[in-house]
Amino acid sequence: MSIKPPVVWCVGGSDSSAHAGLQADLRTGQDLNCHVQTIVTCITAQNSKEVRSVEPVSLAMFDAQWQTLLDDVPPDAIKVSLLPSIQIVKACSAWLTRMKADFPNLLVVFDPVMAASSESGNQLQQTDAGASLLENILPYADVITPNLMEFSALTGLSGDISIEKLQSKMMRYFDDSDSRWLIKGGHCGLGDKATDWLVDRNAIVGFTFNRLSVHNTRGTGCTLSTALASFIAHGYDLLDALTMAKAYITGALKSGVQIGGGAGPLGCPGWPLQFENLPTIVSPNSAITPISQPFPKMDLEKMGLYPVVDSIAWLELVLKEGVKIAQLRIKDPDEHLDSKIQQAIHLGRKYDAQVFINDYWQQAIALGAYGVHLGQEDLDVADLEQIQAAGLRLGISTHGYYEIARAQSIQPSYIALGHIFPTQTKDMPSQPQGITRLTHYATLLKGHFPTVAIGGINAERLSSVVKAGVDSVALVTAITKADQPKLATRSLILSFEQSIRGKS
């Protein structure tokens, strides 16, 4: 029996040209392995050049669609777009109220369609007040995705001011709703780059991308919001889902097709596995600045089994048994910290191995370590330029697409991907990634950054992790809690090598 795909409900208008609207929603959801079910708000007569007619469905039909779907299977996410009348706006609000009460964890993406993105610019929105949409829909939307023109029409605020000042002017909306706003910048502005800003009460995150000189752009907003809802339905958190949706849109724009005399529809690029399509993550409040030159490269021939140990004794044991990459992770430092790091560096040189020091980058620089490994929280306080100037390699922990995209501007020596399975060593803020996600990450990064899988990996799981395509596999308790650690280390090295040969 096949596994049921995630179910996404899309509420919006039918586009007779199939360039945008519910037809684009269906195409996007299917491309991302979701089952899209539709709630039609209106029928439109349009082609690639113009919108000739918009006819709302009756309220009875609108309500019947919600109830009929709900009687069968609930959604994993909802995307709401074109609501052509105040009556349908209010009816949609009532249904969202019910859905949020019955399914508290259900996320809603709201794409406030105000006009067609065709060359005609014909208005699809039949209401004349953004206030009605905000009053009735915003309280139930987890993410709202207006472009700059739609944002101004909804709020009366201009997108010309700085994003920090815009955030302060939006506080009244954050008082009324927990919605996060993705203000899209692709329609406006000059230059070869544009930024979409995710804004809420406490944070601002930018997703910067290269502008593309393409003609076939119909349905871009529909596709982005449906892709976002699809990734949410797959279980990704919002920042990961947004990063993936932005990468997907870039791929869809690159593969657009010419159908009709006007702007054609976007293509179907499949799961976002192209590294060049990832957005660059920016934040006005971040201490992380892009690194102009990449960190020194790893020796890929020495990447394999990657023990992470907490003592010099354990480090010496695994290096003696033939390990060529290892990490010293001391959780509770004492007055002997510098001496331990110095010993670790000496052992790395003695056994011709790549030994990384976890966290203590100042000591690693001062004592001449091979490399340092940093977690996401460490990136905000470490002096990355100083680490690079000292010639150290840098490894970075990541937990999903957003942090991978964030890491690309740092250009580290390797990217660690985790945690793959539940761990025994520490509490984790994220859910286990699993083999499918790991395979996607490894494919995305192949040829760009070496990869290390980490988290809950033991002897039984090692082969499947290696076959996911990573360059190295980090483990802890598979050695340190083994009855015979030396034998376990040798056995794991052999298993890694056999898995590599089996993969090829």
Pairwise pLDDT comparison (189 vs 345), residue with the higher score: 345
Q: Count the Cβ atoms, other than its own, within 10 Å of residue 424.
A: 10
Q: Label residue 431 by pLDDT band (50, 70, 90).
A: confident
Tokens of 334: 């004492």
CATH class, domain 7-282, is alpha beta
* pLDDT of 205 over the 50 cut: yes
Residue with tokens 């657009």: 256
β-pair partners for 439: none
pLDDT at 159: 76
Note the pLDDT tens digit of each residue in 248-270: 999 999 999 899 999 999 999 99
CATH node for 300-503 = 3.20.20.70
Complete DSSP assignment for 316-351: HHHHHTT--EEEE--SS--TTHHHHHHHHHHHHHHT
| Domain(s) of CATH 3.20.20.70: residues in the chain | 300-503
Mean pLDDT of 278-291: 82
pLDDT at 504: 61
pLDDT at 479: 96
Note the pLDDT tens digit of each residue in 218-235: 999 999 999 999 999 999
* pLDDT of 130 over the 90 cut: no
* pLDDT of 113 over the 50 cut: yes
pLDDT at 428: 59
pLDDT at 158: 84
- Binding site membership: which residues? 327-331, 358-359, 378, 397, 423-426, 456, 476-477
pLDDT at 425: 59
pLDDT at 346: 98
- Binding site membership for Mg(2+): which residues? 359, 378
* pLDDT of 188 over the 70 cut: no
* pLDDT of 190 over the 70 cut: no
pLDDT at 284: 81
| Domain(s) of CATH 3.40.1190.20: residues in the chain | 7-282
Mean pLDDT of 163-179: 91
Closest by CA to 416, choosing from 333, 495, 325, is 325
pLDDT at 126: 42
Pairwise pLDDT comparison (26 vs 284), residue with the higher score: 26
- Which pairs from 481-490 meet CB under 8 Å and 24+ separation? 485/314, 485/317, 486/317, 486/320, 486/321, 488/459, 489/305, 489/307, 489/317, 489/318, 489/321, 489/322, 489/323, 490/321, 490/322
Note the pLDDT tens digit of each residue in 448-487: 999 999 999 999 999 999 999 999 999 999 999 999 999 9
Tokens of 503: 């993969």
Single pTM value for the model: 0.94
